[in-house]
Amino acid sequence: MKRNSLIILFLSFTLLLFSQEKDQEKLNREAREDVRSGNEFYNQLKFAEAEVEYKKALSKNPNYAKASYNLGNAIYMQDRNKEAVAQFELIEKMASDKMSKAEAYHNMGNSFMKEKQYDKAVAAYKNSMRNNSKDDETRYNLALAQKLLQDQQNQDNKDDKDNKDNKDNKDDQNKDQKDKDGGDKDKNEDKKDDQDKNEDKQDDKSDQQKNQDQKDKEEQQQQPRPNQLSPEQMKQLLEAMNNEENKTQQKLNEQQTQGVKINQEKDW
C-alpha cells in the first residue's frame, strides 16, 4: 500500500513536470512569435510597438536573450539612452558567449555616445573589442569616441583657462581700480594738504599784510601830511605874518603923511 502511494506520487510529479515543460514550451513558442512580431515593427521603424512585443515575449520567457537584446535596441532607437544602457548591462550579464557580450558592449557604447559621455563610450567599446577584436565597426566607433573625448577635454581645459584668465583679469581690474582709488585718495589728500598749506600761507600772508598795513598806518600817523604844518612851523609862520602886517601898516602910514605929488605948469 505504501509502495503504491510512492508510485502514484512519483507519477503525479512526473506528469506535473511534463505539463510544466509543455506549458513552458508553449510559452517559449509564443515568445518567439512575439519577437518576430516585434522585429516586423522594428523594421518598419515603429519602435514603440516593437518594444511592446519584446516585453510580451519576455513576460513569457524572462531568460529569452534575443528578446532582451532587441528590447534594448528598441529603447535605444527612441532616444531613451539611460534605459538602453541599463538594458544592455543586463544583457551583458545574461550572455554566456563572447559575441553576445561584444554586441551588448557595442550598443552600450552607442548609448553613451548619444549622451556625449565619451569617456564611458570609450570604456564600453574597449570591452567590446576585448570580446571581439575583429569587429571593424566597433574599432571605428572606439577611434571616434577617443577623438571626441580628446576634443571635449581640450574644450574643457580651454574653458577653464578662459575662466581663470577672466577671473585674473577681473582681479587685476579690481586691483587697478583699488590702486587708482587709493592713488586718487592720496592725490586728493596731497591736494588737500597743499590747499591747507596754501591756506596757511594765505593766512600767514594775510597776517603779515595786516601787520604791515598796521605798521604803515602807524608810520603814516606819525608823519605830517604835506598840507599840515608842525607846531614850530606854525609859530614861525605866524611871526612872519605879523612882521609882514607891521611892515604893510608902516607903509600905509608913510603914504598917508607924504600926500600925493602934483605937477604944476609953469606961467610964461
Domain range list for the chain: 14-78, 91-190
Does the predicted model carry a pTM greater than 0.85? no
Q: Is the pLDDT of residue 13 over 70?
A: no
Alpha-carbon distances of 58 from 23, 43, 53, 166, 224, rounded to whole Å: 15, 20, 9, 56, 137
Give the rounded distance of the alpha carbon of 174 from its chain centre: 13
Q: Amino acid letter at 229?
A: L
The C-alpha cell that represents 193 in the structure block: 594738504
Residue of higher predicted confidence among 52 and 12: 52
Could you say which architecture CATH assigns to the domain 14-78? Alpha Horseshoe (1.25)
Q: In this predicted structure, what is the pLDDT of residue 257?
A: 37
CA angle 174, 179, 184 (to 5 degrees): 125
Alpha-carbon span 46 to 33, nearest angstrom: 17
Alpha-carbon distances of 117 from 97, 145, 146, rounded to whole Å: 27, 9, 11
Confidence class of residue 158 from pLDDT cuts 50, 70 and 90?
Answer: confident
- Within this chain, domains 14-78 and 91-190 share the same CATH topology: yes
Alpha-carbon distances of 23 from 15, 29, 60, 75, 86, rounded to whole Å: 12, 10, 10, 30, 30
Lowest mean pLDDT among 42-51, 64-73, 250-259: 250-259
Q: Amino acid letter at 193?
A: D
Q: In this predicted structure, what is the pLDDT of residue 220?
A: 42
Residues in the chain: 268
Alpha-carbon span 153 to 115, nearest angstrom: 16
Q: Is the pLDDT of residue 111 over 60?
A: yes
Could you say which architecture CATH assigns to the domain 91-190? Alpha Horseshoe (1.25)
pLDDT in tens, 207-260: 666 566 565 554 444 433 444 455 666 667 667 666 766 665 555 444 433 343
